[in-house]
Chains A and B, each alone.
Chain A
């Protein structure tokens, strides 16, 4: 008891300036085990600490409190406490102990899942991410947790707001895989297939030394989204994908690869038969909804191909070419596509004709010019980033050492300023 009270007073005293906080941190680190030993009795002491001023101490106490198993009464009270803590804590202080912070947030997630109310943790988790990130380009371990909560709570829009930001720095590869996988699922839910494809592509081509289950599941969804968005699947992964992925991914996803093959053959009856035959396999992977979208997309793709060759076409002919059952169905499909903005056409119901129009975009408006301009700006910043990274890498001592050692020398003129052995 005394040590705990003593800690409390220390926290209250040493939380004002940065140097004090550092010394406090050391004290807390040493006292960590004793805190964990007294975890059941720490709850009342939390009231004596102010989360915004004494964030670091509060964090340690909180982490020790929540270390035990989750029960219903403790869960609801802890959820409130943690949520309040996250919203009011000071970012610089908690960044001194990121692991503790992360484990506290994870416990929050466990508790809301236990209570089956994931929505309660969405906003706090978002705030937590903002406080933990060193910059918006940084990926923390909390990102995938947050996306998981968004998925379970079905609030995709908040998830999307995080996905808008570009990620360039990653702490743990596993975070990236999960982040991209969940992000892909959110985008699929909102039907942003292009962004979903990008995210899933990142998982599939990320450097990895062994195949992991996340990559396999991601590849299955990648195949399906690629069929919906592009109408085709490139048969091999790009060269920069890891060798393990290139060799093994396809064998794990055999039914999906065959689905892609029968899709590209273009025979709708075959495709539907194949889907029927493999229903449980797709269902066990929870991909049934996507598969159904793939089947409906084949009609769209066939109709789009027609716009390239015909100026006007009767609904009956469309129904025959695309293998639909009646002109009425063809009309429904075309109407849906016009509304979604996938084709430009007018339907003449009197003659039963569809007239295909050109894309009315003339590229002459102010908005278009702004779009091009902003694209240019964006790409220029990106290029600069690339050059900076390249320079950093070329002056990195480890890189120079490795390159210097492995260079071939043919005569004396090759001995330039790069030393052969570069001792750090």
Chain B
């Protein structure tokens, strides 16, 4: 169920007419409000709009990732072209060379290796670096804290712009000794977090987030929203989906587009919902996601995801799984979540199966297979693995294709356990006494030899 071709929402849009008032919000086509258009949806990814959500280095990285994973040549070249344009505005010659190599002269003479530009940028970089170094040395001899801090900060920015992430990180961390106010500390933490995310070292992200949150002053809402996003990303990478979901759901609506260097609000919504679906139980799902007023703003940006979670909660599993299937291809192009899509999807599907069987004493497997749009044989295999993992307490009547709930008989189970514990105790004590006797014998032997 990949959304490679034109999928249903788009057809619906065309059939209903562009100016028509619809229930489906995907009918809004005003190009002025590009940022509010559903970007992550079942349609094929609109690269320009997607890239417009981000800024800075992450934009380039994401475009390269899309080019790498998309087999469609036209889209590949589109992504690479946008990356090239963006890189020309910046100073990162290393990434520039990489992109040029990937383009491989397929986009014409305008998009080939511009060696002159590279040389110029490198020369300017060296000049600036020397200047920064001399300034920093001057400040260091003068021992003015604030200037030294600014100097290291500038160094960090410089290295970051040129793609030397390790040096950037080191420079930012060095400012810590010269920070005097909480604002400085927060600034340092945010920079360190940004560089760590780009480097992919999420352990640093977690430590700097906690450092920033420990400042005595109250954080302004945008900063705390940013920190929560970063923490959520770190948990996501660590596969701690429950914690990630909680963090993403706590992000305040003030975030807006202010963290475009790292994450877009659509991403917050998608990641939050997927992780929540995979890991929360029903009460938590209702309290934290569906009734969460703050999070509603984010959900508006990705209406398919909103439909998804409402369907899951109201047990319309077929449509829920259909939405998931549509979203999959676009989610695989996202750099943070593409590793986790399979796991999350499996978990969501298992949760759906378990939730379906929970209220019933017996379930007709044919009806269940229809509800989940799968064959009875396939469903039987899935249920078998869930039963073996002890997530469903039931047994399958394969002849009549019915699933019977089975509740363990407590009394018999207790008797069995009692007898078994008695036997184990008996055996343990007997062997222990025997071993004690052997040890005593050996000890006596040794003692008698000494005497």
Contacts and interface: CB of A to CB of B under 8 A. Distances in A.
B360 to A, nearest CB: 15
Interface stretch (A50-58, A84-92, A374-382): A374-382
B355 to A, nearest CB: 19
A16 to B, nearest CB: 35
B164 interface: no
A207 B396 contact: no
B138 interface: no
B434 A170 contact: yes
B175 to A, nearest CB: 49
Given A173-B438, A308-B387, A375 B429 contact: no
A351 B435 CA distance: 56
The number of chain B residues touching the other chain, given as a range, is: 35 or more
A74 B415 CA distance: 60
Interface string A182-203: 0000000000000000100110
A378 B426 contact: yes
Contacts of B356: none
Interface residues of A, number: 47
Interface in B399-450: 399-400, 404, 409, 411-412, 415, 418-419, 422-423, 425-427, 429-439, 441-443, 447
Interface in A94-119: none
A14 to B, nearest CB: 32
A372 B442 CA distance: 37
B398 interface: yes
Contacts of A202: 431, 434
Contacts of A382: 426, 429-430
A311 B427 contact: no
A317 B425 CA distance: 40
B441 A173 contact: yes
Nearest to A363: B415
A41 B42 CA distance: 108
B70 to A, nearest CB: 38
Nearest to B423: A375
A170 B419 CA distance: 29
A313 B387 CA distance: 15
Given A170-B437, A176-B438, A372-B419, A310 B430 contact: no
A80 interface: no
Given A314-B398, A363-B411, A385 B438 contact: no
A166 interface: yes
Contacts of A361: 412
B437 A207 contact: no
A170 B422 contact: no
Most chain B beta-carbon contacts within 10 A, residue among A166, A310, A359, A371: A310
B384 interface: yes
B388 interface: yes
A168 interface: yes
Nearest to B411: A363
Nearest to B387: A309
A269 interface: no
A240 interface: yes
A311 B434 contact: no
A293 B434 CA distance: 30
B35 interface: no
A169 B438 CA distance: 8
B365 to A, nearest CB: 12
B395 interface: yes
B397 interface: yes
Nearest to B401: A312
A389 B384 contact: no
Contacts of B438: 170, 173, 176, 206-207
B436 A389 contact: yes
A407 B423 CA distance: 37
Contacts of A198: 427, 431
28 contacts: A166-B430, A167-B434, A170-B438, A176-B434, A198-B431, A201-B431, A207-B439, A240-B432, A308-B395, A309-B384, A309-B387, A309-B388, A309-B395, A310-B396, A310-B398, A311-B398, A311-B404, A312-B400, A313-B396, A314-B398, A314-B399, A317-B398, A351-B399, A363-B412, A363-B415, A368-B415, A382-B430, A385-B433
Given A173-B438, A207-B439, 20 more contacts: A170-B437, A173-B441, A173-B442, A198-B431, A202-B434, A205-B431, A206-B435, A209-B442, A308-B387, A309-B388, A310-B397, A311-B398, A311-B404, A317-B398, A356-B395, A363-B411, A375-B419, A383-B429, A386-B429, A393-B436
Interface of A: 166-171, 173, 176, 198, 201-202, 205-207, 209, 240, 305, 308-314, 317, 351, 353, 356, 358-359, 361-363, 368, 371-372, 375-376, 378-379, 382-383, 385-386, 389, 393, 398
